[in-house]
């Protein structure tokens, strides 16, 4: 066993403590995706746990309602009831709630509904194909804080595909995974990694709440997921990847593929963008929605299916890694462990410090975002 320099150890330990992890409170003042629009047909109730709270969503004539999924009477989940007009009816004793959470009808005293019963309602904005919910202080639920990227939302310039996975890991570690793609060479050796990926040069840009990593792998050979739909199998190519932390709820991976075998003046770059939509379910689990778009083969469903299938294969590897890490962190004795970081982690470390600071700011009494029941 090698003994380490005590000063370096103390510094690493202190650094690790300043970064968000599964022990850091979740960020509430943020728009999070609760579901794809297609997950919520009219007349249906959708139960979804987000940031440790149970919600029920349903469509009203005016949009989408999101209520606490717990009847104020005896705690039966409203999602086990049914929709009636713009209301949800509890399946236990029939209490009926309006979209604003107010109880408007109690069958056993039909003539005089009590005025002081209600459940919390949450601001919702549907921007197809995503339904966004605000879990924090409703006074801060500014629609202007929704992500601006037009390609995320049913754009004619982009062909889109969508997927979902449930992950038993804290959301911070998924964000960090997405900011250091040097793991493609190892974790994704059989899917979208190549041996030269981890060795490629990269630039990191960090600012206030902004963290970007740009990596250029060139010349390289593309893995099948990209080579097949672009016709670049077996030729030299450039692969330029930009990873951007957008918010606790969102990360972008933007990819440019360039065929180096084609003379520069005849080239047309191919672009793929992935919105990695991350919704903490609890401190230890998350909903992983993703939307993948491309600017080529726009009408070709087979290309969509191929790319979605390949991405899913790779994301399964990420989920495996994140869940194994979560198990280790949960069951291993932490008293003599601290995380060690290297240069490639600079963006991830800065992002995790930002999340820790955000969480601390939200926990400050003046800005708690905590509310009474209704």
Binding flag, residue 212, a copy of itself (CB under 8 A): no
Of 19, 101, 281, 291, which one interacts with a copy of itself (CB under 8 A)? 101
Of 270, 361, 364, 284, residue with least CA distance to 329: 284
Q: In terms of CB distance, is 14 or 261 closer to a copy of itself?
A: 14
Measure the CA–CA gap between 151 and 158, rounded to whole angstroms.
7
Of 57, 65, 118, 204, which one interacts with a copy of itself (CB under 8 A)? 118
Measure the CA–CA gap between 124 and 46, rounded to whole angstroms.
14
Of 153-192, binders to a copy of itself (CB under 8 A) are: 173, 176, 180, 182-183, 185-187
* Site mask for a copy of itself (CB under 8 A), range 74-93, x = bound: xxxx--xx-------xxxxx
Q: In terms of CB distance, is 170 or 310 closer to a copy of itself?
A: 170
Binding flag, residue 126, a copy of itself (CB under 8 A): no
Of 72, 131, 246, 286, which one interacts with a copy of itself (CB under 8 A)? 72
Helix, strand, coil percentages, rounded to 5, for the chain:
30, 30, 40
Measure the CA–CA gap between 348 and 346, rounded to whole angstroms.
6
Q: Is residue 129 reached through a cis peptide bond, with omega within 30 degrees of 0 on the bond before it? A: yes
Least separation in angstroms between residue 180's CB and a copy of itself is 7
Binding flag, residue 339, a copy of itself (CB under 8 A): yes
Binding flag, residue 106, a copy of itself (CB under 8 A): yes
Binding flag, residue 229, a copy of itself (CB under 8 A): no
Binding flag, residue 117, a copy of itself (CB under 8 A): yes
Binding flag, residue 299, a copy of itself (CB under 8 A): no
User: Contact region for a copy of itself (CB under 8 A) — 128-136, 143-151, 232-240, 320-328?
Assistant: 320-328
Beta bridge partners of 274: 253, 292
Least separation in angstroms between residue 64's CB and a copy of itself is 15
Measure the CA–CA gap between 86 and 324, rounded to whole angstroms.
43
- Strands (E) located in the chain: 31-36, 46-50, 53-60, 63-68, 82-84, 87-89, 96-97, 103-105, 124-127, 130-134, 159-167, 202-207, 210-220, 237-247, 250-259, 270-280, 286-294
User: Contact region for a copy of itself (CB under 8 A) — 103-111, 144-152, 240-248, 361-369?
Assistant: 103-111
Binding flag, residue 365, a copy of itself (CB under 8 A): no
- Residue 337 CB coordination number (10 Å): 12
Supply the DSSP string of 175-206, one letter for each residue.
Answer: HHHHH-GGGGGTTTTTTT--TTTTTS-EEEEE
User: Contact region for a copy of itself (CB under 8 A) — 204-212, 240-248, 295-303, 333-341?
Assistant: 333-341
Q: In terms of CB distance, is 182 or 259 closer to a copy of itself?
A: 182
């Amino acid at each position: 066993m090698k003994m380490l320099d005590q000063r370096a150890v103390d510094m690493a330990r202190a650094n690790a403590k300043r970064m968000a992890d599964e022990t850091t409170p979740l960020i509430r003042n943020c728009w999070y995706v609760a579901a794809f629009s297609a997950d919520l047909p009219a007349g249906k109730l959708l139960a979804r746990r987000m940031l440790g709270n149970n919600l029920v969503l349903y469509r009203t004539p005016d949009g989408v309602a999101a209520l606490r999924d717990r009847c104020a009477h005896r705690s039966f989940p409203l999602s086990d009831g049914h929709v009636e007009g713009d209301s949800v009816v509890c399946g236990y004793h029939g209490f009926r709630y309006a979209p604003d959470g107010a109880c408007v009808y109690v069958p056993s005293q039909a003539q005089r509904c009590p005025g002081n019963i209600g459940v919390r309602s949450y601001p919702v904005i549907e921007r197809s194909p995503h339904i966004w919910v605000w879990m924090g202080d409703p006074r801060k639920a500014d629609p202007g804080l929704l992500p601006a990227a037009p390609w995320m939302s049913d754009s004619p310039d982009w062909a889109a595909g969508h997927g979902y996975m449930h992950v038993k890991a804290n959301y911070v570690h998924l964000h960090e995974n997405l900011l250091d793609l040097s793991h493609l060479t190892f974790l994704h050796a059989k899917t979208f990694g190549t041996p030269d990926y981890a060795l490629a040069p990269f630039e990191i840009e960090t600012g206030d709440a902004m963290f970007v990593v740009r990596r250029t792998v060139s010349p390289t050979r593309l893995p099948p997921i990209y080579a097949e739909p672009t016709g670049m199998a077996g030729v030299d190519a450039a692969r330029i990847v930009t990873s951007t932390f957008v918010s606790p709820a969102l990360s972008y991976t933007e990819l440019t593929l360039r065929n180096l075998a084609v003379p520069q003046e005849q080239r047309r770059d191919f672009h793929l963008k992935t919105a990695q939509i991350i919704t903490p379910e609890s401190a230890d689990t998350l909903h992983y929605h993703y939307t993948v778009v491309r600017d080529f083969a726009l009408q070709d469903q087979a290309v969509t299916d191929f790319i979605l299938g390949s991405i899913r294969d790779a994301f399964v590897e990420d989920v495996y890694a994140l869940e194994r890490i979560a198990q280790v962190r949960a069951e291993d004795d932490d008293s003599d462990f601290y995380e060690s970081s290297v240069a490639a982690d600079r963006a991830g470390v800065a992002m995790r410090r930002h999340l820790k600071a955000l969480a601390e700011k939200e926990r400050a009494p003046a800005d708690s975002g905590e509310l009474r029941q209704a």
